[in-house]
Structure 1
Amino acid sequence: MKHSGFAVAHAGMLLWALLIAASFAAAAQVSQAIDPVLLTGLRLLFCALVFLPLLLIKGDSPITARGLLGHGALGLLLAVYFGSLFEALRYTSAVNTGTLFTLVPLLTLAFEAVLIPGSNLKQRVIPMLIAAAGAVLLVMKGTGPGELPSLYALSVYGAGCLAMALYSPLSQRLKADSLKGRGPVGMTFWNMLFGALFLLGFCGFSGGWKSASLLTMSDFYWLMYLALFATLATFWLLHRAIGVIAPSSVISYIYLSTLFITMFHWFWWHQAPQPLEVMGAMLVGVGMLALLMSSRNAMPDTVQN
């Protein structure tokens, strides 16, 4: 592992954290009258189409039947996650979905222990528990004074977070087997394409496609922003970092993202920090710092190019 590659991967994930933080507020701007499955399917399809020319120009390892099954599984996880986000935003605030998302690294660590044994997980447990405790305090803030987040929204988005937690470890496991040699462009294209097909197929079956007539130009612009910056760019950065940094360390940048989200509400919307928020933000900061300090010793044994 070259130091430059390690530094570039972390720099890319810092940008990833900023883009993720901005995505929650942007997703909340899309009309709630439009079927969330349709919105997400269109978003992933647009991402795949944007990456198609890059894939054709750059090329990638040959696709096989087993490879298609692997991409299909990863695409299904994306479909579950993104669909759950839009559905949850109907019932709770963007800050609640954003902070709940910060629990994903701890879940990723659990999946990593099962799918990638022997990847030196112990030194990441304590920092993640500290940061996760801070994230829970931020989630418990609710959408108003003394109000807890919607139980339905937390359940729906919680299922999506489980899917996202499984995505990185399963991706790295498959890249060592049926998806061996697949680069970040190929991984992003095929996973996005399968995710879009799953969602749009379900949308056609459920009748959600009818809400397409309600799309306004404002909705379209927000969808394009989400597709380009909150989906396409973030998943390319994610796949570029996977293999250079251990999956749970990669996704741990969510912890940094939640600090950006919370600070945005403090300084941009001039919301007075609540005690639970301050305590939660401090715990997330301490946990993230400890995790980053130990990340060099938690790198995987092999590096994917």
Structure 2
Amino acid sequence: MKHTGFAAAHAGMLLWALLIAASFSAAAQVSQAIDPVLLTGLRLLFCALVFLPLLLIKGDTAMTRRGLFDHAVLGLLLAVYFGSLFEALRHTSAVNTGTMFTLVPLLTLLFEAALMPDSSLKQRVLPMLIAAAGAVMLVLKGAGPGELPSFYAVSVYGLGCLAMALYSPLSQRLKTSSLKGRGPVGMSFWNMLFGALFLLVFCGVSGGWRSASLLTLNDFYWLIYLALFATLATFWLLHRAIGVIAPSSVISYIYLSTLFITLFHWFWWRQSPLPLEIVGAVLVGIGTLALLMSSRRTVHLALPHN
């Protein structure tokens, strides 16, 4: 693993965090009358189709039965996460789901320890806790009394968070066996294709497909934007970083997305920062910087000496 690859992976994940942060405003432009599971399934399917020509050009289409099964498992994890998120949002607020999502990097660290034991894991625990605490402060700024989530919402979205936490370390583990040699394009194409199929089948059973008739031209434009920048680009950047950066460090960039959203409110929408936000932003910055430094130490230790 070259240092230039390591630096490029982190730069890519910084862009990933910015794209994720910007996607929330873009998603709000799409009609709320359309089934969100259907929209996500269409986004994933569109992205997979965009990746298909690149896959054919690279000649990365060879697939074993075991490889196909493993991609289906990874696609199912994506479908479970998105499905659980939208189901939970029917019973609780976005603030509560956002708070729960801060647990995903910590859960990823646990799965990483189980699937890929590494003595450097303990170095990332404290920085991750600091960043998580800061993210919680940023997310909870809009919470008020009586907004506690129901047990059902916590259970459903908790299952989705476990699926998302397992996604990165399992991807890296499979890339050393049945998916060995599979590049970011191949990983993104097959995982998104299976994720889209699972979500669209669910829409067919639940009846969510009927809301497709409500799609307007404006919705279609925003759907294309979200597919290209909030899904296609972020999936490629994620799989580009997996294997270069530890999975728990990769997913921890979601904390920076939370910070970027707050910064957008401060500087773009001219909202005055609250004391809790300022403390949270500082903690996210400190925790993320410490994670980056621990990742650099791990890479230097892994490099052969002359």
- When the two structures are superposed, what TM-score results if normalisation uses the length of structure 1? 0.90
- What are structure 1's unaligned runs of at least 5 residues? none
Give the counterpart letter for 1:296 in structure 2: R
Give the counterpart letter for 2:200 in structure 1: L
Map 1:110-149; keep pairs closer than 5 Å.
110-118=110-118, 120-143=120-143, 148=147
Of 10-19 and 110-119, the range deviating more from structure 2:
110-119
SS of the residue corresponding to residue 118 of structure 1 reads coil
Give the counterpart letter for 2:107 in structure 1: L
- The one-character-per-residue Cα deviations of 1:72-116 (angstroms, maximum 9, x if unpaired) are 110011112233444556677767655654432222111111111
Map 1:59-74; keep pairs closer than 5 Å.
59-60=59-60, 62-74=62-74
Of 77-86 and 192-201, the range deviating more from structure 2:
77-86
Of 155-164 and 10-19, the range deviating more from structure 2:
155-164
1:263 corresponds to which residue?
Answer: 263
1:164 corresponds to which residue?
Answer: 164
2:231 corresponds to which residue?
Answer: 231
CA RMSD of aligned residues (A): 2.4
**In structure 2, how many angstroms separate the alpha carbons of the residues matched to 1:37 and 1:57?**
31
**In structure 2, how many angstroms separate the alpha carbons of the residues matched to 1:254 and 1:193?**
23
Q: CA deviation at 1:216?
A: 1.5
- Aligned sequence identity (%): 82
**In structure 2, how many angstroms separate the alpha carbons of the residues matched to 1:91 and 1:29?**
22
**Is contact 1:102-1:135 (8 Å) kept?**
yes
Map 1:36-47; keep pairs closer than 5 Å.
36-47=36-47
1:13 corresponds to which residue?
Answer: 13
Q: CA deviation at 1:137?
A: 2.0
**In structure 2, how many angstroms separate the alpha carbons of the residues matched to 1:183 and 1:113?**
24
**Is contact 2:80-2:163 (8 Å) kept?**
yes
Q: CA deviation at 1:141?
A: 2.1
**Is contact 2:96-2:148 (8 Å) kept?**
yes
**In structure 2, how many angstroms separate the alpha carbons of the residues matched to 1:93 and 1:223?**
23
Q: CA deviation at 1:174?
A: 0.8
Q: CA deviation at 1:154?
A: 6.0
**In structure 1, how many angstroms separate the alpha carbons of the residues matched to 2:127 and 2:178?**
33
**Is contact 1:14-1:253 (8 Å) kept?**
yes
**In structure 1, how many angstroms separate the alpha carbons of the residues matched to 2:120 and 2:107?**
16
Give the counterpart letter for 1:182 in structure 2: R
Q: CA deviation at 1:220?
A: 1.4
**In structure 2, how many angstroms separate the alpha carbons of the residues matched to 1:69 and 1:53?**
22
SS of the residue corresponding to residue 140 of structure 1 reads helix
Of 207-216 and 59-68, the range deviating more from structure 2:
59-68
Of 160-169 and 42-51, the range deviating more from structure 2:
160-169
**Is contact 2:96-2:149 (8 Å) kept?**
no
Task: Label 1:140 to 1:167 Cα distance change in 2 as closer, same or farther (>3 A).
Answer: same
Give the counterpart letter for 1:57 in structure 2: I
- When the two structures are superposed, what TM-score results if normalisation uses the length of structure 2? 0.89
- The one-character-per-residue Cα deviations of 1:24-57 (angstroms, maximum 9, x if unpaired) are 2222332221112211111110010000000011
Q: CA deviation at 1:157?
A: 4.3
Q: CA deviation at 1:66?
A: 0.8
Task: Label 1:5 to 1:87 Cα distance change in 2 as closer, same or farther (>3 A).
Answer: same
Task: Label 1:271 to 1:146 Cα distance change in 2 as closer, same or farther (>3 A).
Answer: farther
Q: CA deviation at 1:280?
A: 1.6
2:198 corresponds to which residue?
Answer: 198
**Is contact 2:22-2:261 (8 Å) kept?**
yes
- What are structure 2's unaligned runs of at least 5 residues? none
| Alignment size in residue pairs | 301
SS of the residue corresponding to residue 63 of structure 2 reads coil
Task: Label 1:282 to 1:80 Cα distance change in 2 as closer, same or farther (>3 A).
Answer: same
